[in-house]
């Protein structure tokens, strides 16, 4: 079963320095029909103008993943991490019992584009943690985050896995999905056919009650696939 979430249906916020599209309810955007999928709570598609960003603010008991599509994020946090996160890299911050951080676009000229993803953890009150990694770009499906950090993936505090998918036109993949689990597919660029449903950049889809997720790339595409409890 496929439930499509069209890009144009997403919530929108425009703060001048920040333009954000919300796949699920977030901040002032509320839709009781779109509160997340399983442990996946937030996918925000953010654009931040040059020299702007999010000042110091706090989080608690949330797994927060950032993926930079264009530009660079300058990250600072209360664990004394000061990092640059360029396009193509993933960051996973486990907020645990509490963390404060800021995220800025350090460029004086270039816009920053990134995905901000929140996953509800299965343990609470733990020590905060920070991970960052650039994965070698490979065709097909690539593990990015997993509960035990296997295959050099980031380690997430939830029974969930995150994959990056990169396909050329007409390429196909089939990914198994265990019984009683579900998946969410978010298209970053290009277009994909998932079980006869066409999905383009910004679209998402909840996938349930299937043993395999079958994808056919229509145009050169990049996507994120969440395997969820």
Mean pLDDT computed over 105-131: 98
pLDDT at 132: 97
Q: Which residues contact 135 (CB under 8 A, 6 or more apart)?
A: 88, 90, 142, 144, 164
- Parent domain of 110: 2-228
Q: How far is C-alpha 140 from the geometric centre of its chain's CA atoms? A: 18
The model carries a pTM of: 0.97
Cα atoms in the 13 Å half-sphere on the side-chain side of 17: 10
pLDDT at 195 over 90: no
What is the per-residue pLDDT across 11-68, written as a single tens digit (0 to 9) for each?
Answer: 999 999 999 999 999 999 999 999 999 999 999 999 999 999 999 999 999 999 999 9
Query: In CATH, what number is assigned to the domain containing residue 206?
Result: 2.60.120.10
The CA distance from 150 to 162, in Å, is 12
Total structural domains in the chain?
1
pLDDT at 189: 98
Mean pLDDT computed over 142-158: 97
The CA distance from 161 to 148, in Å, is 10
Q: Are 40 and 206 in contact (CB under 8 A)?
A: no
Mean pLDDT computed over 85-108: 97
Mean pLDDT computed over 102-115: 97
């Amino acid at each position: 079963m496929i439930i499509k979430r069209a890009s144009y249906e997403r919530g929108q916020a425009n703060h001048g320095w920040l333009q954000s599209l919300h796949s699920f309810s977030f901040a002032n955007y509320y839709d009781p029909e779109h509160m997340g999928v399983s442990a996946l709570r937030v996918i925000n598609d953010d654009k931040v103008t040059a020299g702007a960003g999010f000042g110091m603010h706090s989080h608690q008991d949330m797994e927060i993943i950032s993926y930079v599509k264009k530009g660079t994020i300058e990250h600072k946090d209360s664990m004394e991490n000061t990092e640059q996160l360029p396009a193509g890299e993933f960051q996973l911050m486990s907020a645990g019992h509490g963390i404060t951080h800021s995220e800025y676009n350090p460029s004086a000229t270039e816009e920053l584009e990134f995905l901000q993803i929140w996953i509800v953890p299965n343990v609470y009150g733990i020590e905060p943690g920070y991970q960052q990694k650039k994965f070698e770009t490979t065709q097909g499906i690539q593990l990015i985050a997993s509960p035990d950090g296997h295959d050099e993936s980031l380690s997430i505090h939830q029974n969930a896995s995150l994959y990056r998918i990169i396909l050329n036109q007409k390429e196909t993949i089939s990914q198994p999905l265990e019984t009683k689990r579900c998946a969410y597919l978010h298209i970053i660029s290009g277009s994909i056919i998932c079980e006869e449903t066409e999905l383009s950049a910004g679209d998402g889809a909840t996938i349930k009650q299937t043993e395999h997720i079958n994808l056919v790339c229509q145009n050169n595409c990049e996507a994120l696939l969440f395997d969820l409890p």
